[in-house]
Amino acid sequence: MSKLPTISGRDCIKALQKAGFYQRLRESGHIILRRDQPFAQVVVPDHQELAKGTLRAIIRDADLSVEEFIALL
């Protein structure tokens, strides 16, 4: 298992957009991203630094592996 990098919420969003996600909604400090095919929806906090557990949950909800996500960065 690859080591997770320390990234911001905005960097996470940019990587997910490369994987086919688009911004659906913004609620206060959180951005909701959606992908239609295959369907997936994730909530990314707009923080300077995402906690490792939060980032791992976002990657899991996006149906990506850690290696695939790191390649998108």
User: pLDDT (tens digit, 9 = 90+) per residue, 13-48?
Assistant: 999 999 999 999 999 999 999 999 999 999 999 999
Instruction: Confirm if 44 and 9 have CB atoms less than 8 A apart.
Output: yes
Q: What is the dihedral of CA 3, 7, 9, 10, to 10 degrees?
A: -130
Its pTM stands at 0.92
pLDDT of residue 40: 95
> With 0-12 CB in 10 A as exposed, 13-18 as middle and 19+ as buried, what is 37?
exposed
pLDDT of residue 47: 94
Exposed e or buried b for every residue in 8-23, given b needs 16+ CB within 10 A? Answer: ebeebbebbeebebee
